[in-house]
Structure 1
């Protein structure tokens, strides 16, 4: 039995990569089997103005809220009373699915990088810098309005 692996790429970013494994048997019969690319991604399970996400493993071609193969964690992006965003991940199952070849999406890679399980995602640094610059601009504008109000009181 001879095995030949061929990689096909679709133009659509939604479908990503598809792998086709072609088995050539001794009788020259060709058997084609589609191997789904698994992704570890977020599935929305909240309501309007109150998002809540499950971290799930599912084939890349399925829509966001399709029933997953497995749920390996949760993510609550809304800050609680201690100003924390809560993330819960089963790292043993995450290791298993990554060993099986599952690909992390960018938002999940950011969360796992911030948890310390993987290196920090480069976009996390960019997001932090943008937030810091925005906070500085707000502080400058607040200081400018405060000095204008103080100058108006003196006159």
Structure 2
């Protein structure tokens, strides 16, 4: 049985991602939780949903994020909510906060991976070109 969560009896609220998806199709709700100690597994522990995040690219290669800036400002400014790192990255990319350093690190790693893949493709194409001549 799930317990009713009364936020005034708990400590500092936190903003994080709640997984609402199925196998091989993740979808996240950006939610406010009453206290980090209660965990994030159950819907009954969610105080408010302030946005959504779809991490899989659509047909235009976009990852969709929807945020309610007014409610985020309330929870961060007036209620002093703790924010998880993935949500900080999303808020940095959206312009509400400065860009998180982890975003720069992830971009650098992705550039290196793409560079390695292009070098490997060139190596596999060179013998094919020699055989055709």
Settle same-fold status: TM greater than 0.5: yes
CA distance, structure 2, for counterparts of residue 114 and residue 41 of structure 1: 16
Cα shift readout 1:26-63 (whole Å, capped 9, x = no counterpart): xxxxxxxx741211000000000000000000021122
Which residue does the alignment assign to 1:22? none
- Of 19, 24, 27 in structure 2, the residue corresponding to residue 49 of structure 1 is 24
Which residue does the alignment assign to 1:23? none
CA root-mean-square deviation: 1.2
The answer to whether 1:73 aligns with 2:48 is no
Q: How does 1:16-31 map to 2 (within 5 A)?
A: none
Q: How does 1:84-103 map to 2 (within 5 A)?
A: 84-99=62-77, 100-103=79-82
Which residue does the alignment assign to 1:120? 99
- How many residue pairs get aligned? The number is 121
Gaps of 5+ in 1: 1-33
The structure number with the bigger radius of gyration is 1
Gaps of 5+ in 2: 1-8
Between Structure 1 and Structure 2, the one with more helix by share is 2
TM-score (norm 2): 0.86
Which residue does the alignment assign to 2:4? none
Say which structure, 1 or 2, has more relative contact order (CA 8 Å, 6+ apart). 2
TM-score (norm 1): 0.75
